[in-house]
Amino acid sequence: MRWLIGVILALELLGGFGSALAQPTPEDVYKCFAELGVSDLQTLQAGFAKGFADKRITPDTALRLCQRLKQSAAPISLREGVLQIIARALLEELPVTMLVDKAFEGLTKGVPLDVINDDLLERKMTLSEVKTLLASKGITINLTIRFGPVTLKLTLEAVDTTITEAAGALEDYVRGGGKLDDPNAIKSAVQLRLARNPLIPQTLTAYIEQVVSAAEWAQIAQNIAKRLKKP
């Protein structure tokens, strides 16, 4: 009986080892890009290589997205466009979780790829504006915040998650018909979103509430509305 248990455990270990070996590599991703027939493979490789190194995206996620795009009948320029927007975001050191999620969501729902491209490009601009605003307040990687008795050193994960959640809150507020002439409501929407994410330290959320004004959040919301041509 013991030998049988030993054999089962050994097989499970070998199976786990085999699964680990089967994990997609960056080279698998680049091969998929080439098979897709992209026109600017160099930019895609540079962007995604940086994203893999910075741990903003995994080869598994990138490969799944590429394979999904290979299934589309849309023109190659539109399919490549999705990847190029994400690659350029990675080169600009922006978090891309929202972009990747929206790309998959659009593809699953059958949204035309030109619409998906426009949506991703607009959201990328929002991510950039939020990152710039937070950076202007000193909210960047390795910033040490002393808030009362608490000392906090920001990680990449905390900063990227904060940018993603703030941008998402602003996008949802505008697209949901929120009042653009109510800066306090806009700020409240952002702060509530930040407070709900356990990956964002409460100290950071409280710090942002103090250093970022309602008018500053409202300006980004107004920029989104202009891009979306909302009144």
What are the C-alpha distances in Å from 222 to residues 25, 99, 174, 209, 226?
41, 20, 8, 19, 6
pLDDT at 224: 98
pTM of the model: 0.88
Q: 193-201, long-range: CB within 8 Å, 24+ apart, which pairs?
A: 193/165, 193/166, 193/168, 193/169, 194/162, 194/165, 194/166, 194/169, 197/161, 197/165, 199/157, 199/158, 199/161, 200/158, 200/161, 200/162, 200/165, 201/152, 201/158
Block mean pLDDT (10 aa), the chain, length 231: 50 48 90 97 98 97 98 96 98 98 97 97 98 94 73 89 98 97 98 97 93 98 94 67
- Position 8 scores a pLDDT of 47
Strand partners, 146: 151
Residue 144: the pLDDT is: 78
Cβ atoms within 10 A of the Cβ of 148, count? 7
Going from the C-alpha of 112 to that of each of 74, 98, 126, 159, the distances in angstroms are: 8, 18, 22, 32
The C-alpha angle 101, 103, 107, rounded to 5 degrees, equals: 120
Supply the pLDDT for residue 152.
Answer: 78
